[in-house]
Amino acid sequence: AGPPQLLYAGTVDAARVVILYDGLRIVRYAEPQDSTAGAALDFARVDGASGPEASAVVLDRSDGNVRYLTAPWVRAAAQRDLLKPTSAALDLGLSDGVTGPLAGTARQTGACTSWRVLRLTGDGGSQLLSDLGELVPARLTTGRPA
């Protein structure tokens, strides 16, 4: 691990958020904008991540939605529903590497009628990422198990 690098510091929705990276871990500190009650500190190991695996980190979860901080090579972000594969992707927009809100599925209750995922497009093409409630989304791939 090296010295921490500041990846993001700012206000997202109603939270103050700071994201740091030290070469091995991503750390996110978030607190409500109007107090420090309910502050959260999250860690994730990312030392094996490169390219597609290093394309996004959860920036904020609010009102059932998720916003992501994306890597500099990401040019577009969209929402797809895995249970409706023929439906069009919905553009989320990107502003300074921050996506618009994606309807989250990690804490969904009841019958599973949709599974919304993040589609990122960059120099290497498009990829799908799914929020499983962690700091770093899971990359979705296809093919036979290795």
Find, among 47, 50, 92, the residue nearest to 73 by Cα: 50
- pLDDT tens across 13-47, in order? 989 999 999 988 999 999 999 887 789 999 998 88
- Segment 98-124 shows an average pLDDT of 84
| Per-domain boundaries in the chain | 5-140
Q: How many CB atoms lie within 10 A of CB 5?
A: 10
**DSSP one-letter code for 112:** -
- pLDDT tens across 77-110, in order? 999 999 998 999 999 999 999 999 998 775 667 7
- Segment 39-60 shows an average pLDDT of 84
> With contact defined as beta carbons under 8 Å apart, do 115 and 105 qualify?
yes
